[in-house]
Structure 1
C-alpha cells in the first residue's frame, strides 16, 4: 500500500489505532497533521518540545540581546563562510532557461540544444524539461558542465537513478534524498550499490590501464534517452567513492560531523540573525533541518534514515558545504510556499519536499514523451569552446561566472557567444549571464551615504518595518532587521548601470558580434526586486518572503544575443 501524501504525525506501522492520513493540523504551530484528536494527544509528549519551543514565541530574541554583547557577525564580518567549500545545492532559485512560448514558440519544430556551462546542481535542467510544452516533440540535447567533480558526480548519479529505477515514486524519493538528505535509507543505498555502482565499475575496469591524463567518455542508452559522461581517468576512479559509504562512518558519526558545522557554537549569532528574519514556525522548521539534515515533511518518520549519504560524505571527518547551505535557496520561495502540504500549512521543508517531488515527477514524465541526450562534462568553463561545436546552442546559461571574481563579462562573452546559434538560424538564441556580486563590489562610500540620506527609501522601509520602540542598542534586533531589509527597498540600477559602463559591456558584445537584449524573454532582469507597493494586496507577504529567503535583492540577470 502506498504511503498517503499527508501522513498523521503519530503514525507508525505498529500503531493500529491510527488511520494514517493527516486531516487536522496542530493549531499552534501548523507544522504537522493528525488523523484525529486521539493521535494528537498520544503524540503530544513528543511534539511539545518543538511546539512550545522558545523559538515559537513572537517575543523570541537572539542570545546576543539577553547577554548584552556585540554579535559575532559584527566582529567577524557579515558574510564570513564557515564549514566546507563545496556548492552542492543551488544558491539561487531555479528557472526555465527555455521559455519556449516566449521565444521560438510552442510550435517550434527544430531540435533544442541547451548548454549549462557552470551548472551547479540539477535544478535548472529539471525545471526546464519539466516546463517544456507538451506539444513540443522534437529531440533535446543538453550539455551540463561544472569544474567540481563532486557536482558532476552527484548530477550523474541522480540522473542515472531517474533512468534505471522503473518505479517512478521510488526513483523520485531516492533522487530527492541523494540530492538533499545527509542520511539516506537502506533502500537508497541498495539502488546506489546494485544499480548505479556496476555501471561505473564497468567503465573503470575497461580504462584501468589508460594513462592518467586521458579524457574518456561513456554513453549509456536508456530507450529513447542517453546519458554521456566525459571525465579524466582519475575522476572516473574517484566516482566510485560517491557510491560507497566511507569505512567506519556510521550514521551517528556522520550526523555529528554535519552538526559540528551547522550548529557550531561559534556560529550561533549567525544562525540567530537568520532566525530573526523568519516566522516563529519557520524558526522551528529550520532548526530541525540544522539538527537532522533530512529533507522531509516535519512529521515524517526518520527511523529509516540510518545510512550516511556517500555522495555528501567523501571522508569520515568532513561535511562538504558551508554551515548556511540550505536546500530552500535553490527554488522559488513563492513556488515552495504555494505547494500544498495538507493541513501542515507552515511546514516549509515539507512544502519544499513536495515541490521538488512535483518538479522531478514532471521531469521524468516529460522525458517519456521526447528523446533526450544528456552530456555531462567536468572542466573549467573557459575550456568548453575546445570541446563544443560553434553556433550550436539555443540557450547558454552560465550562472555567475560573469562576475568579476570569476571569468568576468568580457571573457565570458568571448568564450560563450560563438557557441550560440547564428541569428539567421535562430534569432531567439540567448546567452544568460548572472551577476550576484556586482552591486556590492561596485557600491562606493558615496553611494551608501546617498542611500541613507534618501528619505523616500527610509520612508518605504519603515512602511514595511515600522519602528515600534526605541532601540536598546546599535545591535537591537529591529535595527539588524532594518539593515537587512534596506537592500530590498533600494534601487540598485544606477550602481549596476555604472558597472556596465565602466567594464565596457557594449564593447565586449560588439567585438564578438553580440548585444544585450533590452527586453528579456527568459528571466527577469531583477527577479528578486519588490514588485508591489506597501499597502497593496500581497505586499507584506512579498516583502517577508524576500527577507526570509536566501537572495539579496541585488541579483541581476543579463540576456545576450548574436547580431
Structure 2
C-alpha cells in the first residue's frame, strides 16, 4: 500500500462486501444505471493524420456517436479537425437517457451561443460540478430556458409520443434536436432548480450516492490502487462535488446544478496541465478540459459544424427518421456491443447499413469497444488452469511491485487466521488481474461469437491495422514499464479493454 490508509473492513474485522458478493466479472450493482461521465478516456474518432490526411480542410464529414454518453468524444473529435477547416462537419449524438441528452443539449447551446471564455466555465461546471454559482444558473434560465419553452408552447397540442424536430440557429451555427413531445416538456425542467431544493440538500443527495455507506468496501478497494494525493483528490471531489484546482474558493458555488471525472480522460494527457501543486490530479483535469473546451468553442464558432441530438435506442437508428438516409464517415458505438447490452451480431447488422461505402470514403470506420467481453469469457471458462494462470500473473506482478516477504507472509497468515482479507492481498490481487492473458480470452470470444464471419455477411471486414485507436490501449505488455503500470493501476482501466475497427468490403 502507498500510505497508512486502512480500509474500513480491515479496521472492523469483517469480510469486505466485494468478497461476499462473489467473484463474478462485474461489480455488484448500486443505484440507478446512469452514466453521466465517461468510463473510457476521450477519443478523437477522426484521427485524420492516419486516415484522410490533415490537409483535407475542405472535406465534409459525418460522425455518428450512437451511444454517446457525455460530449467528450465529440469534443475531442471536433478538436481534431485540421487548422483552417472549411468543410461541413455534422456530428450526430444519440443516447437513450434523456438526462444525458438534456445536459448535452444545454452544454452545446452554451458553446454555440456565448463567447468561448464565457462559455467554458459554464460547460465545465454544468458537466462535473454538483453546485453552480447563481449567476451561471441565472444565465441558463434567461438565455437557454426560453428557447426550450418556445418549442414546448408551439407543440403543446401534439401527441405525447410524436417526434418533434427543432433546429436552433446561432448566426449559422446549428443544433438540431429530435425528441418526443413529452421529452421536450421534460427538457425544460433540466434548466430549473426543483422548488425548495437548497445547496445543502443537493449535497446530501449527492453524497448519498458518492459516499454510500453500503459501497464503502468497493470504494476502499479502488482507493488502494491510488496514490495518497490521488486519494485525497478523489475524496475531496466526492465530498464537495466541484471540479476546481486545489485551494480555489468555492464560496460562489451556492446553487444546485439542475442538470469521478478521472475515468473520461487520459492520465498522460491531463497531467501535462498539472498546476503548481503537481499532485493535484483534479486540478490538472480542470485545466486540461478548460484548454480543450476553449479550442472546441473556438472551432464551432468559426467553422461549419452542426450537431444533431437524438434520444432513442441505438439499435433503431438505422430506421429512424432524420437518420436513415445518412451515411457516416465514422460510427462510434461505445460498448453496447458487449454481450450484456446489445451484443456484436445486432450491432454489426444495424450499423453496417449506416457506414459509407469505400467508393465514398475508403477510411470510413465503425468502431466497437468491448469493455467486458474478455473478462466475461474468462469467467465462463474458469477452470483448474485458472490457478496456474493466477500464479503466472503473480510472478509477473513481482516485476512491477516487488514485495517484502515478511509483510506478505504476515498478510497471508492474518487472512488465514481471521478470515478477513488483508488490504495488501486485495491490492496485489487487483493488480495481478490486469496481468492475465486477456488476449487469449478475447480470441476465444471472437471464435465463439463468429464476429468476422457475421461481419462478412453484413458487408464489413475487420481492419487489419487500426487507424483510430490501438486494439489493446491498456494491455500490460512485456514492454510495459513500471511507471506505465503504476499509471494504469491509478486509472480506472482494467487492462482488458478491446477495440475493433470495421470497414466496408466495398
**TM class by smaller structure:** over 0.9
Task: Give the whole-Å Cα distance in 1 for the aligned partners of 2:255 and 2:375.
Answer: 41
Task: Give the whole-Å Cα distance in 2 for the aligned partners of 1:209 and 1:555.
Answer: 47
Task: Give the whole-Å Cα distance in 1 for the aligned partners of 2:355 and 2:188.
Answer: 35
Task: Give the whole-Å Cα distance in 2 for the aligned partners of 1:265 and 1:422.
Answer: 52
Aligned residue number for residue 552 of structure 1: 494
Aligned residue number for residue 158 of structure 2: 210
Aligned residue number for residue 207 of structure 2: 259
- Please, which runs of 5 or more residues in structure 2 have no aligned partner? none
1:76 is displaced (CA, Å) by 2.9
Which residue, out of 180, 183, 201, partners 1:235?
183
- Please, which runs of 5 or more residues in structure 1 have no aligned partner? 1-54, 312-325
SS at match of 2:353: helix
Task: Give the whole-Å Cα distance in 2 for the aligned partners of 1:103 and 1:179.
Answer: 31
Please tell me whether residue 76 in structure 1 is matched to residue 21 in structure 2: yes
Aligned residue number for residue 366 of structure 1: 299
1:170 is displaced (CA, Å) by 2.1
Deviation per residue, 1:471-491 (Å, 9 max, x gap): 232611121111111232223
SS at match of 2:500: strand
1:141–1:374 contact (8 Å) kept in structure 2? yes
1:174–1:188 contact (8 Å) kept in structure 2? yes
1:487–1:554 contact (8 Å) kept in structure 2? no
Q: How does 1:156-195 map onto structure 2 within 5 Å?
A: 156-166=105-115, 168-195=116-143
Aligned residue number for residue 261 of structure 2: 327
Task: Give the whole-Å Cα distance in 1 for the aligned partners of 2:386 and 2:437.
Answer: 9
Aligned residue number for residue 20 of structure 1: none
Which residue, out of 402, 421, 430, partners 1:466?
402
Task: Give the whole-Å Cα distance in 1 for the aligned partners of 2:459 and 2:263.
Answer: 35
Aligned residue number for residue 353 of structure 1: 286
Which residue, out of 402, 405, 424, partners 1:478?
424
Aligned residue number for residue 561 of structure 1: 503
SS at match of 2:331: strand
Please tell me whether residue 379 in structure 1 is matched to residue 321 in structure 2: no
2:7–2:220 contact (8 Å) kept in structure 1? yes
2:48–2:80 contact (8 Å) kept in structure 1? no
Task: Give the whole-Å Cα distance in 1 for the aligned partners of 2:381 and 2:184.
Answer: 52
Task: Between 400-409 and 191-200, report the one with greater CA deviation.
Answer: 400-409
1:148 is displaced (CA, Å) by 0.8
Task: Give the whole-Å Cα distance in 2 for the aligned partners of 1:266 and 1:130.
Answer: 41
Deviation per residue, 1:303-322 (Å, 9 max, x gap): 111101110xxxxxxxxxxx
Call closer, same or farther: CA 1:453–1:361 in 2, change over 3 Å. same
1:81 is displaced (CA, Å) by 2.5
Count of aligned pairs between the two proteins: 488
1:66 is displaced (CA, Å) by 2.9
Aligned residue number for residue 412 of structure 1: 347
Call closer, same or farther: CA 1:133–1:531 in 2, change over 3 Å. farther
Call closer, same or farther: CA 1:423–1:193 in 2, change over 3 Å. same
1:391–1:418 contact (8 Å) kept in structure 2? no
1:340 is displaced (CA, Å) by 2.8
Aligned residue number for residue 118 of structure 1: 67
Task: Give the whole-Å Cα distance in 1 for the aligned partners of 2:381 and 2:441.
Answer: 11
SS at match of 1:310: coil
1:107–1:136 contact (8 Å) kept in structure 2? no
Task: Give the whole-Å Cα distance in 2 for the aligned partners of 1:369 and 1:100.
Answer: 19
Aligned residue number for residue 65 of structure 1: 10
Which residue, out of 443, 460, 466, partners 1:514?
460
Deviation per residue, 1:294-349 (Å, 9 max, x gap): 111121111111101110xxxxxxxxxxxxxx1111111221222231x2111111
- What is the TM-score of this pair, normalised by structure 2? 0.93
Task: Give the whole-Å Cα distance in 2 for the aligned partners of 1:201 and 1:139.
Answer: 29
Task: Between 182-191 and 487-496, report the one with greater CA deviation.
Answer: 487-496
2:112–2:301 contact (8 Å) kept in structure 1? no
1:450 is displaced (CA, Å) by 2.9
Task: Give the whole-Å Cα distance in 1 for the aligned partners of 2:478 and 2:132.
Answer: 41
Aligned residue number for residue 376 of structure 2: 441
1:431–1:559 contact (8 Å) kept in structure 2? yes
Call closer, same or farther: CA 1:451–1:542 in 2, change over 3 Å. farther
1:394–1:430 contact (8 Å) kept in structure 2? yes
1:71 is displaced (CA, Å) by 1.3
1:390 is displaced (CA, Å) by 4.9
Please tell me whether residue 402 in structure 1 is matched to residue 320 in structure 2: no
1:392 is displaced (CA, Å) by 1.6
2:274–2:280 contact (8 Å) kept in structure 1? no
2:40–2:265 contact (8 Å) kept in structure 1? yes
Which residue, out of 420, 423, 434, partners 1:488?
434
1:527 is displaced (CA, Å) by 0.9
SS at match of 1:190: helix
Call closer, same or farther: CA 1:451–1:205 in 2, change over 3 Å. same
Call closer, same or farther: CA 1:112–1:105 in 2, change over 3 Å. same
SS at match of 1:142: strand
Q: State the 4+ residue runs in structure 1 displaced beyond 4 angstroms.
A: 444-449
Task: Give the whole-Å Cα distance in 2 for the aligned partners of 1:353 and 1:491.
Answer: 36
SS at match of 1:443: helix
1:439–1:495 contact (8 Å) kept in structure 2? yes
1:431–1:560 contact (8 Å) kept in structure 2? yes
Deviation per residue, 1:166-220 (Å, 9 max, x gap): 3x22210000000110111111101210010011011001110111121001001
1:97–1:395 contact (8 Å) kept in structure 2? yes
Deviation per residue, 1:409-458 (Å, 9 max, x gap): 11111110111111112111000011111112211465564354145432
Task: Give the whole-Å Cα distance in 1 for the aligned partners of 2:233 and 2:306.
Answer: 39
1:527–1:555 contact (8 Å) kept in structure 2? yes
Task: Give the whole-Å Cα distance in 2 for the aligned partners of 1:170 and 1:371.
Answer: 21
Aligned residue number for residue 35 of structure 2: 87
